[in-house]
Structure 1
Amino acid sequence: MHTVMPECDTRPNASSALLAGRNVDSVVKGAALGRIGNLEVRLARNEAEIAAAQEVRYRVFYDELGARKDLFQAQDRRDADRFDPLCDHLLVLDTTLSGPEHRRIVGTYRLLRQEIAATAGGFYSEGEFELTKLIARHPGQRFLELGRSCVLPQYRSKRTIEALWQGIWAYINHYEIGVMTGCASFHGTVPAAHAEALTYLAHHCRTNSAWDVRAVSDRYCSMDLMPIEAVNAKAAIAAMPPLVKGYLRVGARIGDGCVIDREFSTVDVFVVMPVKEIGARYVNYYGGEAQRFAA
């Protein structure tokens, strides 16, 4: 998910600390998780690749979308926080580009597993949404937080998104993930500007009681912003960011309330995707039949 909640931590450590203390899983750390044409998807293998992914994030979130940067971010030109050393960083690389591999990164996702998040006091998205009760209701499930999703403008195509999802699917199968969660964002800090889309989500895409998540009380904003009978479903869906529409297609549901993130100038909603509820066509497309992508 495009998780762009602001962090109030001091300057992140230099890249030499990024992999410190990590138990790097050799099974998924080295080999490609998938290929589509000239695009390869895999996890970051070293500090240079993580730093390069942070540079891609900076170019998208700060240069392109206008997020507020502090002095350290402006100097380093990297989007980095205290969660980066805890996460696996999924990368899409253009294999036709010249130079070292870390300079071929064109897209990235940040993956944070539940057992790792527990060592850091919780998931990144818990600054915006109440996850404790959700996790407690499903003790037998392993949660994975998706965040910091971004792709360079010239690579924003169906193929790149498919490559990322192929990698995510391989990852969740390897780690036996039961639930994917995270934030997805609407641009701007005025929920009313997205009234039709947010109202549609509130009425037609809400989580059920078993999977319900609510925005934290002091940041809660209602998503029910106009009479439901006035909502045009086609227009509402068309107005949603591509990432939100993509999650809904695979069976994701949306939590209660949205949050204004002024640091990144976004309105965030919470997305819940139990893996067992993902549609069979997508399981086959990215899972059992995915070897066709390598051709």
Structure 2
Amino acid sequence: MTLLSGTSQGIIDGTIMSGLEAQKPILPANDEAVVLGRIGALEVRLATSQDEVEAAQELRYRVFYDEMGAHAHSMAAAERRDADRFDAVCDHLLVYDTALTCPQHRQIVGTYRLMRSDQAAKHGGFYSADEYDVHQLALSRPNLRLLELGRSCVQAEYRSKRTVELLWQGAWAYCRRHAIDVMFGCASFHGTIPAAHALGLSFLYNNCRATPDWDVRALPHRYQTMDLMPREAINNKAALFSMPPMIKGYLRLGAMIGDGAVVDEAFGTTDVFIILPIERISSRYISYYGADANRFV
């Protein structure tokens, strides 16, 4: 998720599965529109219908596959929807352009998928456990409420600071509503050759690694080293400039980086693990976003 910078490349995480393999989403029990933020004609709220979830899956397909070049499963290509089994148990945070004169589910211009630890415990774990030892994080923090964020994307013409700020407003209001203690997920560099991102990965390794009490390691068979350059060769300014907007946004908020990168061949990305305890979020950002988000808690 790009929290503060200008554009979003659209990917935090992903797998390829047919929409036919996904169950119907479990939608909020209260079927009224759950508004979590508003800026002008744009609103962010939770999906409350199957049509809205499917429209979000269609947006994800256009961004991930048509635009970013991910490799689609044959059934996903036929349906033109990015869907997997986690869609059925997650909450779907959606940005709507209410100025558009079309059915509500066709007003969706941005999406984020949210999965709480209580949802994961009932339905087979977290999505990112395919790449990282998230299970160990959950075991070591049994009393904390965890929130996995993923499948972030924004329609091309809406990739502005305003849209991503609205996504963050919604995510923050959601965290407040559910008393979340820590957010996490995968963020991506485009391309499957870690050495091509040696500067950025080495900067993260040397400057942003998680403290031992929060560390999460890539699974052994997927582990790629991030320590690709000597510390003295790293130009910090150049490294930050080259960083994907999502990762820069998380770092500004106080996020830490897990141990090891993972290559996702299907999505054509090199992933890193983001860990953001709520207690680490800078008070100035809580003040900046929280004033608006708190109205929707």
Query: Same fold judged by TM-score > 0.5?
Result: yes
Report the Cα distance in structure 2 between the residues aligned to 1:55 and 1:30, rounded to whole angstroms: 21
| Counterpart residue type for residue 280 of structure 1 | S
Q: Quick check: 1:26 aligned with 2:35?
A: no
Selected match of 1:233 from 216, 232, 236: 236
Report the Cα distance in structure 2 between the residues aligned to 1:31 and 1:218, rounded to whole angstroms: 41
Structure 2 residue runs of 5 or longer lacking an equivalent are 2-10
Selected match of 1:208 from 192, 211, 220: 211
Q: Which residue of 1 aligns with 2:8?
A: none
Q: Deviations over 1:238-261 (max 9, x none)?
A: 111100000001111100000000
> Where in structure 2 are the equivalents of 1:144-223 lying within 5 Å?
144-223=147-226
Q: Which residue of 1 aligns with 2:110?
A: 107
Contact persistence 1:88–1:110 (CA under 8 A): yes
Q: Which residue of 1 aligns with 2:95?
A: 92
Q: Which residue of 2 aligns with 1:13?
A: 20
Q: Deviations over 1:254-282 (max 9, x none)?
A: 00000000000000000000011111011
Return the offset for 1:291: 6.8
Contact persistence 1:3–1:125 (CA under 8 A): no
Superposed CA RMSD: 1.8
| Counterpart residue type for residue 75 of structure 2 | F
Q: Deviations over 1:131-172 (max 9, x none)?
A: 122122212210000000000111111000110000001101
Contact persistence 1:5–1:128 (CA under 8 A): no
Q: Which residue of 2 aligns with 1:58?
A: 61
Report the Cα distance in structure 2 between the residues aligned to 1:57 and 1:5, rounded to whole angstroms: 10
Q: Which residue of 1 aligns with 2:12?
A: 3
Report the Cα distance in structure 1 between the residues aligned to 2:77 and 2:293, rounded to whole angstroms: 40
Q: Deviations over 1:4-42 (max 9, x none)?
A: 3424x5x33388x423xx362429x62311111111100
Tell me which moved more, 208-217 or 135-144.
135-144
Q: Quick check: 1:128 aligned with 2:131?
A: yes
Q: Percent of pairs identical after alignment?
A: 55
TM-score by length of 1: 0.93
Instruction: Report the secondary structure of 1:32's partner residue.
Output: strand
Q: Deviations over 1:165-194 (max 9, x none)?
A: 000011010011101010000000000000
| Counterpart residue type for residue 205 of structure 2 | A
How many pairs does the alignment contain? 287
Q: Quick check: 1:277 aligned with 2:277?
A: no
Contact persistence 2:35–2:44 (CA under 8 A): yes
